[in-house]
Amino acid sequence: MKRIGVLTSGGDAPGMNAAIRAVVRTGVARGLEVYGIRNGYQGLINGRMQLMGARDVGGIIQRGGTVLGSARAPEFHTDEGQIRALRMLNEYRIDGLVVIGGNGSQTGNEAISRRGFPTVGVASTIDNDLYGSDITIGVDTALNIALEAIDRLKTTASSHQRAFLVEVMGRDCGYLALMSGIAGGAEAIVLPEEDQDPEIIADVISSAYQRGKEHALIVVAEGAKYNANALIEYFSQHKDRLGFSLRATQLGHVQRGGAPGAFDRILASRLGSAAVESLVNGEYGVLAGLVKNEVKTTPLAEVVANKKRLDPKTIQLAKILD
């Protein structure tokens, strides 16, 4: 193997640049030429590749987002799009590919691998819903951003004796909501993994006030059946009966921005470097992830075929601590 490519795909996550840096510098140290592919799979199809050296990735480890960019690529979901991508890889004489991203990105990666091209994935998504890694790049930073927002809202909620609802990202996975809710001392946590009746949420808030609390705070995952918008609508419709309304804060994409924390920089460096080593050692069609605090590889076919689930003991802990 003499030449490899690296791309970032899907939603950006804090630490992606650290992973790019690790791929490039490990590749150079191994005597490889490393080509950065702009704008994910769409850039791959369009042949947007450039040679990168150690100096090209200097000063990016602390930057959020991805210097390679990311873009949606509907064409890549077709046979024609994947064949065009493979032609470009062959045209640039790329011998192996590193894909940094989450579920959708690794599904595309597995499709290329299935066609016989050497690929390795790097687990990166703030949702932490990717099978094959206990925690993925970007999660720790996003979690701490959510926690800071929760702490700030609790201060103002106490000042005005109000009930606040905080919606965090995570798509259909409640990991960020669960962990930020526990760490932030939320009165209730609403998850996609569990059906929760708004009336129960109302009882929780009423109980908190009856115990003499000066505020009540609910953390909800964006993918829950009753997300922020649904809960606000429900409480507004039943305000007279319930006796109070909710104020909502939707954190949104602020969780994906900003500088990555130390944990994500180190995790990204470990996984990015491990991905290159896997290619050099002839281990293809795998995802580099963190399993029981060790860097491990999991077959991409296994990654895309399985759904990562929340730890039921942690869910039970949240209910005890509410």
Query: Looking at the annotation, which residues are catalytic?
Result: 127
Distance CA 196, CA 218 (A): 12
Task: Determine the Cα angle at 136 with ends 135 and 137, to 5°.
Answer: 135
Distance CA 271, CA 295 (A): 7
Distance CA 288, CA 278 (A): 9
What secondary structure does DSSP assign to 230-297, as a single string? HHHHHHHHTHHHHS---EEEE-GGGGT-S---HHHHHHHHHHHHHHHHHHHTT--SEEEEEETTEEEE
Distance CA 123, CA 9 (A): 11
Mapping DSSP to helix (H, G, I), strand (E, B) and coil, where does residue 6 land? Answer: strand
Distance CA 38, CA 43 (A): 5
Distance CA 45, CA 79 (A): 12
* Structure-derived torsion over alpha carbons of residues 89, 53, 121, 106, reported in degrees to the nearest 10: -60
Asked if 84 and 74 count as a contact pair (C-beta separation under 8 A), the reply is no
Asked if 102 and 127 count as a contact pair (C-beta separation under 8 A), the reply is yes
Residues in the chain: 322
